[in-house]
Amino acid sequence: MAPPVIGVLAIQGDFEAHVRVLERLGAETRTVRTPKDIGGLDGLVIPGGESTTMTSGIQREGLAGPLRDLVRAGTPVLGTCAGLIMLDRSHLGLLDIEAERNAFGRQVRSFEADLDMPALGGALRAVFIRAPWVAEHGEGVEVLAEVDGHPVAVREGEILAVAFHPEIEGETRLHEWLLERAGRRCRQASDTKNGGQAE
């Protein structure tokens, strides 16, 4: 079976670093800048960056509706830093959270921390740059990690969102999670198609 095709939103931010991580892991990647880039994606990364600029770019390119349709169809998503903000109730409305921007302070307050994330295999080194945190979340949202009592990694269904930058530290487990979920979805679609043809 061909590798899953993972889209990386490339409106603004460090999208190229995510592309490099995904390709090292064997994925086929596609940068997403316009609605025509969305068709056929098996997974999606919404990277860090500046959420106001990303919001403007998404509106300018008419991407909000296609992105919502893609995710609501069950496509796995990884959102990092500003990506967590973009997924919240006030932006794309795909994750039942309210994010607080720059929650740990401006860039001079950037820091690293070791997070305990059993859901992803244990301790994980995280880089926080002008990071948000989850100020509020719905009952269906699973908190995977916290810093000083504030959620910084959450999961809801096929969406994994974190307040840090795994692509900077060389941490691959979040991207591996995305590829595993995307690959599973590809296999299910293939089995359904083959089963349908057999009938």
Homologous superfamily (CATH) for 5-198: Class I glutamine amidotransferase (GATase) domain (3.40.50.880)
Which residues contact residue 20 at a Cβ distance below 8 angstroms, ignoring those fewer than 6 apart? 167
**167 in catalytic set:** yes
Which among 18, 81, 156, 175 is annotated as catalytic?
81
Q: What's the confidence (pLDDT) of residue 14?
A: 85
Q: What's the confidence (pLDDT) of residue 198?
A: 38
Which among 156, 158, 167, 171 is annotated as catalytic?
167
Q: What's the confidence (pLDDT) of residue 183?
A: 92
User: What average pLDDT does range 98-112 have in this prediction?
Assistant: 82
pLDDT, tens digit (0-9, with 9 covering 90-100), for 114-144: 999 998 988 999 999 989 999 999 999 999 9
Which residues contact residue 163 at a Cβ distance below 8 angstroms, ignoring those fewer than 6 apart? 81, 84, 103, 128, 131, 132, 133, 134, 152, 153
76/41 Cα distance (integer angstroms): 10
**186 in catalytic set:** no
**81 in catalytic set:** yes
Q: What whole-number percentage of the chain has pLDDT above 70? A: 94
**More confident position, 109 or 192:** 192
CB distance 5 to 29 below 8 Å:
yes
Assign 197 a pLDDT band (cuts: 50, 70, 90). Answer: very low
Q: What's the confidence (pLDDT) of residue 190?
A: 73
pLDDT, tens digit (0-9, with 9 covering 90-100), for 61-98: 999 999 999 999 999 999 999 999 999 999 999 999 99
**More confident position, 135 or 186:** 135
pLDDT, tens digit (0-9, with 9 covering 90-100), for 22-55: 999 999 999 999 999 999 999 999 999 999 999 9
Assign 106 a pLDDT band (cuts: 50, 70, 90). Answer: low
Which among 18, 91, 137, 165 is annotated as catalytic?
165
Assign 187 a pLDDT band (cuts: 50, 70, 90). Answer: confident
143/137 Cα distance (integer angstroms): 9
Whether the per-residue pLDDT at 108 is higher than 70: the answer is no
